[in-house]
């Protein structure tokens, strides 16, 4: 149907592939063809079934129905080992690396046990040189950056000389510059006649590097195309189905300072944590300050300190509405009108096994003490008033749920996130601090949450958004600062920053950029 | 054969109720098989073990006596475990509670006052709490594994009691036997209903403790805090709860109840101190807590069931001549089955009899 | 034989069961499973070894029975925690309680029956070396096994590919599963190895240390073993050193009791338990090192997606 040589047998061909979890079809009769020597995009938003599909191709999951054909032969892929034997390599989105082991050991684990560790190290070293992926086989993974970890995964896959390499959202953890370097490697692979299955929801990227694209939505194939012939809008339509509501923003004259952080330094609390170094920032009412950065550069640590989950001895380092709060706990800060939404929904922003009403109380037991608790010193919980507040939040944020008060774990990621954000908005906070507001959330929920954040700022609150998603940042921020290795750049007005500029800041503002890899060695 | 688990979207309320009963039934079946293997008639043995003790009034009183420390400690441990703190040393806190509670009637044996008994109970609870504070301190400040420290302290407590009874607190008129002097009448916990039998007020304390804990866990912010911190420390911190303080609370609370159980047992049932004051109540209470699914009201029921295993063991020894060691085996089996059956609450279990699928191997 | 040789011999006898059981538990924990049932498996091993030796008349049959007893009981734990994903802490306790009960019942008829002692095996030539010969090379089979185990476990964990896989599982079972390593199967084997070692340690108690059956004769050694593994930060050589440290403490307090220094015997008997607590405090208070050394998936349940 599509252009080139239909006569050649595709490298991989999938027909009617279906995966059921209970009665839910994560993949529903998927058809897919990957030709030799092409970079093939698998597009789809979160929850479309991309990960389930590739897990079946790599033998991690077993299909419920359907057929996989490899180089013209019908195959059943029972395990990752079988997939590797066929010539399929995989680079996972959440890396399957072992922090306590060395790079060499990590690579050895997926190879033939007969090859010695020394031999593997040699081969890995020469491979990484050939593809421009520098690595030290003796280094411990725990000490490496995210980009370096991804290189291990890629080298690990390449060592087995695969015909097909699957990459799951590889650029979501990279700076734009690191991503460019990855693309070079991919082109080199294609040049050697290998195929790449490239999973992404980033349209620009797919249009730039992929030869063909298959689009998934709700577990079904909704389109196959040449992405270079499409516009971002047309790809987005295939991916999302209906048009997404656009987020509207108006800039207001900023008001009083709501959050003021000056020269805040916090040592890392865990061996693998990041220490914050000399962080200063200031947010006024009506502003949305976005803090951009690649994952693992101190965002979590910054959130913990701003929220008061971790206090600092210097009370003056953090001021909320003019009060020194560095040594004040999270509830003390909430009583000053601050609200917080952490990155992790399960087990941080919400307790997965508890009903929504309990999860409402979780964040508001002290700030709404008067309405939610009674019985004096015994603090008896007023379940009825909490339940009605829960219904109010759910109605306001359009939280889709089954039953009156389901457990947080029963909600989809997007609905739970809407609930968690709504729980805080319901208080009409003077200051809202959000970490990764739309991480792993479907497009509909994401646009609703972004609009809510903008509306909150418009109504006169100050908003801090910590995010890795640059599109999101450009959509909602009035000011942008970049965090890198625990240091925060100055804030820039959103209009004055380009993508390239942010990318450079993400790569490290405190170093003069030398262009080489070695700059990151320490 | 292969067993596959599939996580349920929500906890199954049916199996939450059914799981302890299922475990009990499995234990009984295995118990019957065990008796058959020992060459005893399983029906007669099970009758002697589980039915006979329920047929007579005096023995119902004995049941209440055995169940009281189990329920008191089980309730405390349940609260502690709910908060994800693993106090395994209730036996030690029980022992220390018995010692501190006995201080007044042994050292000030000629002080006769109605205040003696309340003072004993308070000091017993205090002693247990203080002994529980040791692993709490070590966990909160030195990050030390509380399971190991609280368990080590059991041995230390027992040796300490042994030293006291063979030394300073030995009854001067006791012919060198390792026992303390007998408690004066006002130091003895009275029977609830004297005319009917021996059961003393410890059982009432146990019921009160269970109801209060049930109310706390279900209706108060404290109970909410315990549950949240137990399920996710991180979410607890987000709510402004301190997991360090919860370590203290869990251990002091469970330690106090264990200490209270200890002094009640010595004062109500034994009436003096001796080297062996507990047939492993502190460890059995762990089983009680789990069989009661860490729910204070459930623990009342499970405390009675495990109390019955002690009585049954004694009864079966007399009537059919099996060792009273069978009791421990029953208790161990029961805990195993409880833990197995709890899987049904969280997972759908599918057993596949077919061999692994053929195909590419 | 002089007094120091005698003391050294008793230290070795007291340390060997700790070392063996701790090496087994180390392998189990390195695979990410926390089996708190060491005490129970050890006591089952002790009673099985004693009864086996009695019935067959051979202490070597006793050793095999002890190992089998520990290994079989460990599989109960494995089934519950690995297949049914029951709470590992609670299940370990259940195993200990059940082990104490079952061993009491089995051993009831054997209380105060004279035991069969495991004979010494003198190694030719080496056993004639002064001092060292008598202490190290005129030992029983289980001591020699403890040395073989130490070297074997060390080699397995850090030199063999299978050991690398086991450590990988302990570090991240989800990653290991994604790579196609058999998480559950490996863990079953690791738990079984731990059980076999605990059983062997129990056999040493009832065939060498005090060749008789006494109820609860493990006396908390299984728990001390668990502390040893933490103390050793999951490294075989440190487990060995720690085991001997504890053995020495146990023996020294016995000698102090015999000398009658005026310290009550009960306080001296507390020493090994108190020492365990002290050691735990020293080793744990540095959160950083504990965190780096602890197998990251220790005690966490693993349910593969299907």
Predicted-complex ipTM score: 0.90
Q: Could you tell me the strand order of the sheet in which A276-284 lies?
A: A276-284, A257-266, A318-320, A323-324
> Which residues, in sequence order, are CB contacts of C236 under 8 Å at separation 6+?
C23, C26, C150, C153, C154, C157
User: Which pLDDT value is given to residue B183?
Assistant: 94
pLDDT digits (tens, 9 = 90+) for C230-287: 889 899 999 999 999 999 998 988 888 888 777 888 999 999 899 999 989 988 877 7
Q: Which residues of C touch B4 (CB under 8 A)?
A: 306
Angle at A88 between CA A82 and CA A90, to 5 degrees: 105
- Residue range B169-176: average pLDDT? 88
Interface contact flag, B167 C264, Cβ < 8 Å: yes
HSE-up (13 A, CA, CB side) for residue A106: 32
List the single range of B58-67, B195-204, C131-140 with lowest mean pLDDT: C131-140
The reply to whether A257-337+429-520 shares the fold of A12-240 is yes
Give the DSSP per-residue string, A77-111. --SHHHHHHHTEEEE-SS----TTSBHHHHHHTTS
Phi, psi of A283 (to 5 degrees): -130, 135
Partner-chain contact C93 B163, CB within 8 Å: no
Q: Give the Cα-Cα-Cα angle A41, A46, A48 (nearest 5 degrees).
A: 70
For C20-45, the three-class secondary structure string (H helix, E strand, C coil) is: HHHHHHHHHHHCCCCCCCHHHHHHHH
The band of A508, judged by pLDDT with boundaries at 50, 70 and 90, is low
Which residue of B143, B214, B239, B244 to mutate against A (max A Cβ within 10 Å)? B239
In chain C, what percentage of residues exceed pLDDT 90? Answer: 64
Touching subunits for chain C (3+ Cβ pairs under 8 A): A, B
Distance separating alpha carbons of residues C252 and C257, to the nearest angstrom: 8
Q: Closest Cα to residue A54, out of A26, A22, A73?
A: A26
pLDDT digits (tens, 9 = 90+) for A430-486: 999 999 998 878 778 888 999 999 999 999 999 999 998 877 888 899 999 999 889
| Contact call for C80 and B88, based on CB within 8 A | no
CB A227 within 8 A of CB A210: yes
A351 interaction partners in chain B (CB closer than 8 Å):
228, 231-232, 235
The predicted structure's pLDDT at residue A514: 38
Sorted by sequence, the CB contacts under 8 Å of residue C232 that are 6+ apart come out as C22, C26, C238, C239, C241, C242
Phi and psi angles of residue C210, each rounded to the nearest 5 degrees, phi first: -135, 95
Three-class SS string for B30-98? HHHHHHHHCCCCHHHHHHHHHHHHHCCHHHHHHHHHHHHHHHHHHHHHHHHHHCCCCCCCHHHHHHHHH
Q: Hey, what are A230's tokens? A: 């499409």
Pair of tokens at residue B50: 């589980």
- Residue A300, by phi and psi: left (phi above 0), alpha (psi -120 to 50) or beta? alpha
With beta carbons less than 8 A apart as the criterion, state whether B85 and B227 touch.
Answer: no
The answer for residues whose C-beta is within 8 angstroms of residue C193's C-beta and 6 or more apart is C24, C27, C28
Q: What is the pLDDT of residues C45-94, one digit of tens each?
A: 999 999 999 999 999 999 999 999 999 999 999 999 999 999 998 899 99
What domains can be seen in chain C, in order of their start residue?
3-293 (1.10.3470)
Q: Per residue in A211-249, pLDDT tens?
A: 999 988 888 898 888 988 888 777 777 776 655 556 666
User: What architecture (CATH level 2) is domain A12-240?
Assistant: 3-Layer(aba) Sandwich (3.40)
Taking CA atoms, what residue in B is nearest to C79?
B340
Mean pLDDT over the full length of chain B: 92
CATH number, span A257-337+429-520:
3.40.50.300
Q: Which residues in chain C belong to E strands, given as ranges? A: 120-122, 138-140
Helix or strand or coil: residue A483? strand
Please check whether residue A66 is in contact with residue A29, taking contact to mean a CB–CB distance below 8 angstroms. yes
Mutant choice from B2, B12, B82, B240 vs A, greatest count of A C-beta within 10 A: B240
> By three-state DSSP, how is residue A63 classified?
coil
Quick check: A110 and C179 CB within 8 A?
yes
List domains and CATH numbers for chain B.
11-31+39-348 (1.10.3470)
Taking CB atoms and an 8 Å limit, are B220 and A378 in contact across chains? yes
A325/B228 Cα distance (integer angstroms): 25
Which residues are A223's β-sheet partners?
A215
Judge: A78–B359 Cβ closer than 8 Å, yes or no.
yes
Show Cβ contacts of residue C152 under 8 Å, excluding neighbours closer than 6 positions: none
pLDDT above 70 for B73? yes
Residue of A nearest to B9 (CA): A410
Cα(B24)–Cα(B305) distance, rounded to whole angstroms? 9
CA distances to A172, A307, A357 from A330, rounded to whole Å, are 31, 6, 20
Do B341 and B16 meet the contact criterion of CB atoms below 8 Å apart?
A: no
CB contacts of C234 in chain B (<8 Å) are none
Closest to C179 (Cα-Cα) out of A405, A448, A55: A55
Q: Which two tokens stand for residue A31?
A: 């058809």
CB contact under 8 A, A348 and B234: yes
Cβ atoms B276, B157 nearer than 8 A: no
A379 at B interface, C-beta within 8 A: yes
Tell me C82's DSSP state. I
Which chain B residues are closer than 8 Å to C277 by Cβ?
Answer: 138, 144, 148-149, 152-153
CB within 8 A of B218, min separation 6: which ones? none
- Structural domain boundaries in chain A: 12-240, 257-337+429-520, 356-423
| A284 membership: H or E segment, kind and range | strand A276-284
Residues in chain C: 306
DSSP 8-state code for residue C129: S
Confidence of residue A507 (pLDDT cuts 50, 70, 90): low
Residues of A in Cβ contact (< 8 Å) with C179: 80, 96, 109-110
Per-residue pLDDT tens over the stretch C183-209? 999 999 999 999 999 999 999 999 999
Model pLDDT for residues B98-124, shown as the tens digit of each residue: 999 999 999 999 999 999 999 999 999
Token output for A424 = 């805080």
Distance, in Å, from the CA atom of C164 to the CA atom of C299, rounded to the nearest integer, reads 19
* Inter-chain CB proximity B283 and C230 less than 8 Å: no
Which residues make beta-bridge pairs with A266?
A276
CB C165 within 8 A of CB C175: no
Average pLDDT along chain C: 91
- The pLDDT of residue A180 is 87
Element (H, E) at B348: strand B347-352
Rounded Cα distance, A453 and A71, in Å: 50
Angstrom distance (rounded) from CA A244 to CA A227: 20
Among residues C218, C40, C108, C41, the alpha carbon closest in space to that of B313 is found at C108
When mean pLDDT is compared across A101-105, A419-423, B220-224, the lowest value belongs to A101-105
Rounded to a whole number of angstroms, the distance between the first and last alpha carbons of chain A is 52
């Amino acid at each position: 149907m599509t252009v080139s040589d239909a006569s050649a047998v595709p490298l991989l061909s999938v027909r009617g592939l279906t995966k059921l979890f209970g009665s839910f079809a994560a993949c529903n009769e998927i058809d897919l063809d990957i030709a030799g020597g092409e970079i093939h995009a698998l597009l789809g938003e979160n929850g479309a079934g991309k990960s389930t599909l590739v897990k079946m191709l790599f033998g991690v999951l077993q299909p419920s129905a359907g057929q996989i054909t490899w180089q013209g032969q019908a195959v059943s892929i029972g395990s990752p080992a079988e997939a590797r034997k066929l010539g399929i390599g995989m680079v996972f989105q959440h890396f399957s690396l072992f922090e306590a082991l060395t790079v060499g050991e990590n690579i050895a684990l997926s190879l033939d046990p007969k090859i010695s560790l020394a031999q593997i190290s040699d081969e890995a070293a020469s491979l990484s040189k050939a593809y421009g992926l520098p690595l030290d086989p003796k280094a411990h993974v725990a000490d490496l950056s995210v980009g370096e970890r991804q290189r291990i995964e890629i080298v690990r896959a390449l060592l087995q000389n695969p015909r097909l390499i699957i990459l799951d959202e590889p650029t979501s953890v990279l700076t734009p510059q690191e991503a460019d370097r990855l693309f070079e490697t991919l082109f080199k692979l294609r040049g050697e006649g290998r195929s790449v299955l490239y999973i992404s929801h980033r349209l620009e990227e797919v249009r730039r590097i992929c030869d063909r694209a298959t689009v998934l939505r709700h577990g079904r194939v909704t389109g196959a195309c040449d992405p270079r012939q499409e516009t971002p809008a047309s790809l987005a339509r295939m991916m999302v189905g209906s048009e997404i509501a656009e987020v509207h923003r108006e800039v207001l004259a900023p008001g009083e300072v709501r959050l003021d952080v000056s020269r805040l330094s916090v040592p890392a609390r865990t061996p693998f944590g990041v220490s914050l170094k000399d962080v200063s920032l200031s947010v006024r009412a009506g502003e949305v300050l976005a803090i951009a950065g690649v994952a693992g550069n101190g965002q979590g640590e910054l959130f913990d300190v701003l929220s008061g989950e971790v206090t600092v001895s210097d009370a003056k380092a953090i001021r909320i509405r003019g009060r020194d709060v560095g040594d004040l706990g999270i509830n003390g800060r909430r009583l000053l009108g601050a609200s917080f939404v952490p990155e992790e929904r399960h087990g941080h922003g919400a307790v997965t096994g508890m009903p929504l009403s309990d999860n409402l109380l979780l964040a508001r037991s002290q700030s709404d003490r008067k309405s939610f608790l009674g019985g004096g010193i015994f603090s008896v919980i007023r379940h009825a008033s909490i339940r009605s507040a829960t219904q109010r939040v759910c109605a306001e944020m359009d939280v889709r749920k089954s039953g009156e008060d389901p457990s947080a774990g029963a909600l989809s990621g997007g609905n739970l996130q809407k609930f968690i954000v709504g729980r805080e908005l319901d208080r009409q906070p003077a200051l809202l601090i959000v970490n990764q507001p739309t991480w792993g959330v479907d497009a509909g929920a994401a646009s609703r949450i972004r609009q809510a954040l903008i509306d909150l700022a418009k109504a006169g609150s100050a908003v801090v958004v910590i995010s890795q998603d640059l599109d999101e940042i450009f959509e909602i921020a009035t000011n942008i600062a970049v965090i890198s290795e625990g240091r925060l750049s100055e804030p820039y007005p959103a209009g004055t920053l380009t993508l390239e500029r942010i990318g450079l800041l993400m790569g490290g503002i405190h170093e003069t950029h030398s262009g080489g890899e070695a700059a990151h060695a320490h | 054969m292969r067993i596959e688990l599939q996580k349920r979207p929500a906890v199954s309320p049916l199996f939450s109720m059914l799981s302890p009963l299922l475990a009990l039934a499995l234990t009984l079946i295995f118990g019957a098989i065990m008796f058959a293997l020992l060459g005893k008639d399983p029906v007669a043995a099970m009758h002697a073990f589980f039915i006979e003790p329920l047929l007579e009034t005096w023995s119902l009183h004995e049941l209440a006596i055995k169940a009281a420390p189990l329920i008191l400690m089980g309730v405390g441990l349940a609260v502690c475990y709910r908060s994800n703190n693993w106090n395994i040393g209730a036996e030690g806190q029980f022992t220390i509670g018995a010692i501190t509670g006995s201080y007044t009637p042994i050292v000030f044996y000629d002080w006769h006052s109605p205040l003696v008994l309340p003072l004993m109970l308070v000091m017993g609870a205090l002693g247990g709490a203080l002994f529980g504070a040791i692993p709490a301190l070590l966990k909160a400040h030195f990050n030390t594994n509380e399971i190991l420290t609280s368990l080590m302290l059991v041995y230390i407590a027992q040796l300490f009691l042994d030293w006291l009874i063979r030394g300073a607190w030995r009854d001067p008129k006791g012919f060198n036997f390792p026992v303390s002097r007998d408690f004066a009448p006002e130091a003895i916990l009275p029977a609830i209903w004297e005319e009917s039998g021996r059961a003393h007020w410890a059982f009432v304390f146990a019921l009160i403790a269970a109801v209060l804990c049930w109310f706390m866990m279900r209706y108060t912010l404290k109970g909410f805090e315990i549950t949240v911190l137990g399920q996710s420390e991180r979410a607890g911190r987000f709510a402004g709860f301190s997991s360090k303080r919860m370590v203290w609370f869990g251990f002091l609370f469970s330690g106090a109840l264990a200490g209270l159980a200890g002094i009640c047992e010595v004062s109500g049932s034994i009436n003096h101190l001796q080297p062996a004051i507990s047939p492993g109540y502190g460890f059995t209470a762990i089983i009680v807590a789990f069989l009661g699914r860490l729910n204070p009201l459930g623990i009342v029921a499970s405390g009675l069931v495990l109390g019955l295993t002690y009585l049954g063991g004694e009864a079966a020894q007399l009537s059919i001549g099996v060792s009273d060691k069978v009791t421990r085996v029953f208790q161990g089996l029961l805990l195993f089955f409880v833990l197995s059956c709890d899987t049904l609450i969280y997972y759908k279990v599918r057993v596949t009899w077919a061999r692994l699928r053929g195909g590419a191997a | 034989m002089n007094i120091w040789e005698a003391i050294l011999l008793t230290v070795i006898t007291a340390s060997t069961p700790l070392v063996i059981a701790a090496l087994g538990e180390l392998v189990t924990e390195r695979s990410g499973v926390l089996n708190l049932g060491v005490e129970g498996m050890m006591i089952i091993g002790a009673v099985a070894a004693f009864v086996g030796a009695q019935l067959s008349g051979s202490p070597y049959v006793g050793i095999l029975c002890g190992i089998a007893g520990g290994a079989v009981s460990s599989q109960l734990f494995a089934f519950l925690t690995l297949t049914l994903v029951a709470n590992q802490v609670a299940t370990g306790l259940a195993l200990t309680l059940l082990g104490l009960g079952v061993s009491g019942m089995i051993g009831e008829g054997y209380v105060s029956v004279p035991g069969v002692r495991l004979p010494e095996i003198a190694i030719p030539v080496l056993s004639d070396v002064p001092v060292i010969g008598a202490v190290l090379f005129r030992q029983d089979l289980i001591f020699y096994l403890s040395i073989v185990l130490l070297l074997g476990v060390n080699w397995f964990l850090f030199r063999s590919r299978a050991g690398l896989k086991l450590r990988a599982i302990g570090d991240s079972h989800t990653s290991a599963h994604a790579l196609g390593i058999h998480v559950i199967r490996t863990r079953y084997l690791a738990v079984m190895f731990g059980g076999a070692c605990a059983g062997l340690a129990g056999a040493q108690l009832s065939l060498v240390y005090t060749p008789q059956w006494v109820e609860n004769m493990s006396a908390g050694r299984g728990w001390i073993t668990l502390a040893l593994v933490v103390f050793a930060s999951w490294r075989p050589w440190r487990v060995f050193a720690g085991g001997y440290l504890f053995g020495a403490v146990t023996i020294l307090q016995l000698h102090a009791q015999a000398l009658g220094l005026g310290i009550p015997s009960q306080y001296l008997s507390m020493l090994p338990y108190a020492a365990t607590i002290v050691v735990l405090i020293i080793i744990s208070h540095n959160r950083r090192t504990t965190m780096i050394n602890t197998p990251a998936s220790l005690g966490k349940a693993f349910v593969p997606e299907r």
